[in-house]
Amino acid sequence: MHEIVVNLHMHTRYSDGTGTHRDIARAALQAGLDAVIVTDHNVWVQGLEGYYRQGSQRVLLLVGEEVHDQRREPQKNHVLVFGAGRDMASFADDPQSLLDAVRGAGGLAFLAHIHDPEQPAVHEPDISWVDWSVQGFTGVELWNGMSEFKGLLKTRLHALFYAYFPELIARGPYPQAIQKWDELLLDGKRPVAIGGSDAHALHASLGPLRRTLFPYEFHFAAINTHLLLPAPLSGDLTADRRLILEAFSAGHAFIGYDLPASTRGFRFSAQGKGIRAVMGDEIQAAGALTLQAHLPALAHECRLIKDGRPIRVWKRAQACTHIASAPGVYRFEAYRRAWGRLRAWIFSNPIYIR
Ligand SMILES: [Zn+2]
Ligand SMILES: [Zn+2]
C-alpha cells in the first residue's frame, strides 16, 4: 500500500485563522506533506481545492468544513466534514441531522476534539463532544494539537513559553479521549481515529513580545494522519480526493506525531492462513493470527491494546509480534522519549478480529 501524510483540521482567514489557503499550501510543501484538509468554521470555501506546486514538488489541498452550533453556549459538539461537496452549516443546530446530511451528501464526519476541557486562565470554555447519542459518524479526532496546548495554559505566561518552545507541548491524546474511543470500539462501533492540528496561526502578544502562535509549518511537522492507499496519488484532483476519502472511511490510517522522529513507514498488520489485514480491516479468523507492528525507528515503549486493555508492552522495540488467538479489537500505540519525557508517537487504527 502507498502511504501518504495528511495534515487536517486547520483554519484560514475565512474563519478565525490568520493565513490564506495559499499560505497553507506553501507551508505544506515546505513540510513535505502529501495533502492538507482545510476546515474553516461553518463555511465551505469553494474554488481553492487542488494541487499546489513548487518546483518538482506538489501538495493536494482539500477543503472541508468544521461545523458547530454557534448559538449554543458553550459551543460544544464540533464536527469535521470532509468530502460533502456542499456547505453543511445550515444543519449546525442539531448534531444528528448534521451527521445524516453529511452521509446523505456522500461525505465523512469526524467528531472533533472530543475531549477539550475548559481553561479558566485564558477564558476558554469546555468545547468537548457531549452528544454521545448520535449515530452514523465516521470517526473521532482522538488527538488535537490545539486542545492539548489549551490544556497546558495555566496562566497567560504559559502561552508565551510554549510559543517559544512548542516542541514541549505534545504528550499524547487526552486519556479521556482514548477512553471514549475504546468505549465506542467495545460497543461494536468502528470509529476511525484521526489526529488534527487545529492550526490557526494565531498572533499573540504579551507586553512588547509578539509572536505567531504555532505557524502552520510547525503543525505540519507535528501531529499528522498517515493514510494507506491502494495506489499512489495520480495528480488528478477528483480521483485522488476519492482515494483519500476511501482510506479515511476504511480506517486505513494511523496518527503519527512526526516531530520527534518521522513515523512514515509504520505498519500494523495481521497475518494468518490466507488472511492479510491492515489497520481498519475487519476479518473473520478461525485460527490464530500473527499481529505485527513495524516501526520506522526505535520506540521506547510499545503497547498492544485489546478491547481497551493493554495486553503486551515492549520496551525499546522496533518490531513487535504477537500471536492473537482470540477475537477482539486490537490496536497499537508507540511512545518515544523526546525533550525530557515519554511522548505519544504513533496510534494505529484497530484491526477487528471477529
Ligand atoms: Zn473546533
Ligand atoms: Zn478547529
Chain mean pLDDT for the chain:
96
Question: Among all ligands shown, which has an atom nearest to the Cα of 112?
Answer: 1
Ligand 2 geometric centre to CA of 296 (Å) = 30
94-115 average pLDDT score: 98
* Placement of cell 473521532 in the chain: 140
206-211 average pLDDT score: 73
Q: Where are the chain's structural domains?
A: 2-257, 267-353
Ligand 1 geometric centre to CA of 10 (Å) = 9
CB 7 within 8 A of CB 25: no
CA–CA dist 310, 304 (Å, integer): 6
CB 37 within 8 A of CB 43: no
CA–CA dist 230, 55 (Å, integer): 27
The 3-state DSSP class for residue 219 equals helix
Ligand 2 geometric centre to CA of 313 (Å) = 34
CA dihedral 94, 98, 100, 105 (to 10 degrees): 160
Ligand 1 geometric centre to CA of 123 (Å) = 16
Ligand 1 geometric centre to CA of 109 (Å) = 13
Question: Among all ligands shown, which has an atom nearest to the Cα of 10?
Answer: 2
Which residue, 126, 122, 196, 127, is CA-closest to 163? 122
271-303 confidence digits (pLDDT tens): 998 899 999 999 998 889 999 999 999 999 999
2-257 maps to CATH 3.40.50.300 = no
267-353 maps to CATH 2.60.40.10 = yes
Ligand 2 geometric centre to CA of 145 (Å) = 10
118-139 confidence digits (pLDDT tens): 999 888 999 999 999 999 999 9
Ligand 2 geometric centre to CA of 326 (Å) = 39
Which residue, 259, 289, 266, 263, is CA-closest to 276? 289
